[in-house]
Amino acid sequence: MFTQAHHVGMDAPWRSEAERFTHWDLIARILANAAWNPIWLVPHIHARVFRIDWLHCADQGCVADYMGNLLWMVQLKLPGRDHKARVLELWMKPVGGQCVSPCTCICT
């Protein structure tokens, strides 16, 4: 089962302009769901000014969940016949343009 979280490419549907709120759609949603904030009265403030801030999204241990999910999705795309072999691919180190096996303490 795929959700929007699985669509992360530059052509992901949620990145299209059609999927984004316009400034006035955002204002209507804010008025319908929350109290009005005086920041919208500041000259030149527009919905395009606001961006997702990684620091605040990553707070409260969410990074561990995100990274775990990211690594799980990455390992599914790596070569290998089973989960252990694919995870070992994550630990391969490039040396002189070629990947070498990880140290023996990781392999055992």
The pLDDT value given to residue 47: 84
Q: Are 55 and 32 within 8 A, CB to CB?
A: no
φ and ψ at 99, to 5 degrees? -85, 135
Give the span between the Cα atoms of 27 and 20, in whole angstroms.
13
**Residue 108 pLDDT class (50, 70, 90 cuts):** very low
User: Structure tokens of 89?
Assistant: 């691919």
* pLDDT reading at 13 higher than 50: yes
The pLDDT value given to residue 37: 84
* pLDDT reading at 61 higher than 60: yes
Write down the residue that tokens 């070569």 correspond to. 79
